[in-house]
Amino acid sequence: MRYALISDIHANLPALESVLADARARGAETILHLGDLVGYAPWPDEVVATLAEAGIAGVAGNYDSTVAMDHDNCGCAYEDARQAELAHVGYEWTRANIRPETKRALGDLPFRLDVSPDGGHKSGPRLVLVHGTPTLNTLYWHADRPDAFCLQMARFAGLKAGDVIAFGHTHLPWNREVEGIHFVNTGSVGRPKDGDWRAGYVMLSLGGGKAELEHVRVEYDVERAAVAIFGSELPDEFAEVLRTGGRVRVAAS
Ligand SMILES: [Fe+2]
């Protein structure tokens, strides 16, 4: 089975549209999302509706659950007080502008999704999707986590050799194989932070005893997103984050 794994869209409709077109052109049979559908860009309703219309299932990101549950913050970590302040403006904008049915759809997302490409009547391989880690959707699983951390998470998730666990949340793509288990951070569709502005996702071929994955980057109409952000009450700085792939440093003010 050929999967496209898409994460951290963050209400960026132009990025999502380009990724879906690219994944279909590459022969994706099933597209799955790994959460953080909303926040930071002005299309939360449109992104959730697009996924629903396309039958794309997935899991709850921290942003999705906090918006759905009316938490007072998104459970995100920031490098400084100014970024935290801007992010909170974006969070409150999303809460104030999202449709009730979108909010319900976010609240209905499961924490984890298990997929068995061989139909489940064989013992593996399995694809497990979470947003952050199998224990918490707010925990950041960066590339510098040691193998011991990966294996601890694999044990918690009940994984064995040949299985794949995919996650997002950091907006920084990486992958590693430890004791035959594949760990893959898919990066971010709608708000990459690795200095590459292009939308990121993963193509994964799984089944018949093998797993092959590829990190894909796709150009999209980032200026359409920037103009829409400028025309909304979201902080203008969010447009620069998109244009620079997260490398912009927001000046204190
Ligand atoms: Fe995110």
How far CA 178 is from CA of 124, 147, 154, 181, in Å, comes to 17, 7, 10, 5
- Residue 54 lies inside a defined structural domain of this protein: yes
- 197 CA distance to ligand 1 middle (Å): 15
pLDDT of the residue at 79? 78
- 4 CA distance to ligand 1 middle (Å): 18
Per-residue pLDDT at 35 exceeds 90: yes
pLDDT band at residue 249 using 50, 70 and 90 as cut-offs: low
- Residue 250 lies inside a defined structural domain of this protein: no
For residue range 49-108, list pLDDT tens digits in order.
999 999 999 999 999 999 999 988 887 878 788 888 998 999 999 999 999 999 999 999
How far is it, in rounded angstroms, from Cα 193 to Cα 204?
22
Q: Which tokens hold the place of 232?
A: 């909304």
Higher pLDDT, 251 or 224: 224
Q: Which tokens hold the place of 126?
A: 């399995």
Q: Which tokens hold the place of 8?
A: 């951290």
- Residue 14 lies inside a defined structural domain of this protein: yes
- How deeply is 14 buried, as exposed, middle or buried, from its count of CB atoms within 10 A (0-12, 13-18, 19+)? buried
Higher pLDDT, 210 or 140: 140
For residue range 149-162, list pLDDT tens digits in order.
999 999 999 999 99
Supply the mean pLDDT for the chain: 94
Share of the chain above pLDDT 90, in %: 85
pLDDT of the residue at 252? 38
- 170 CA distance to ligand 1 middle (Å): 7
- Residue 252 lies inside a defined structural domain of this protein: no
Q: Which domain, by its residues, includes 90? A: 2-243
- 67 CA distance to ligand 1 middle (Å): 13
- 10 CA distance to ligand 1 middle (Å): 7
> What CATH number does residue 153 fall under?
3.60.21.10
- Residue 199 lies inside a defined structural domain of this protein: yes
- How confident is the model over 177-189, as a mean pLDDT? 98
The model's pTM is: 0.95
- 29 CA distance to ligand 1 middle (Å): 25
- 36 CA distance to ligand 1 middle (Å): 5
How far CA 184 is from CA of 141, 160, 221, 223, in Å, comes to 10, 15, 26, 29
Amino acid at 2: R
Per-residue pLDDT at 251 exceeds 50: no
Q: Which tokens hold the place of 53?
A: 């219309």
pLDDT of the residue at 209? 78
- How confident is the model over 28-38, as a mean pLDDT? 98
- Residue 253 lies inside a defined structural domain of this protein: no
- 35 CA distance to ligand 1 middle (Å): 8
Domain count along the chain: 1
pLDDT of the residue at 253? 35
- 118 CA distance to ligand 1 middle (Å): 30
Spatial contact of 62 and 37, defined as CB atoms under 8 Å apart: no
- How confident is the model over 110-133, as a mean pLDDT? 90
How far is it, in rounded angstroms, from Cα 119 to Cα 126?
10
- Residue 104 lies inside a defined structural domain of this protein: yes
- 121 CA distance to ligand 1 middle (Å): 34
pLDDT of the residue at 124? 76
- 208 CA distance to ligand 1 middle (Å): 32
Share of the chain above pLDDT 70, in %: 98
Per-residue pLDDT at 109 exceeds 90: yes
pLDDT band at residue 145 using 50, 70 and 90 as cut-offs: very high
pLDDT of the residue at 78? 80
For residue range 211-242, list pLDDT tens digits in order.
999 999 999 999 999 999 999 999 999 999 99
- Residue 207 lies inside a defined structural domain of this protein: yes
- 138 CA distance to ligand 1 middle (Å): 9
> Phi then psi for 227, rounded to 5 degrees?
-60, -40
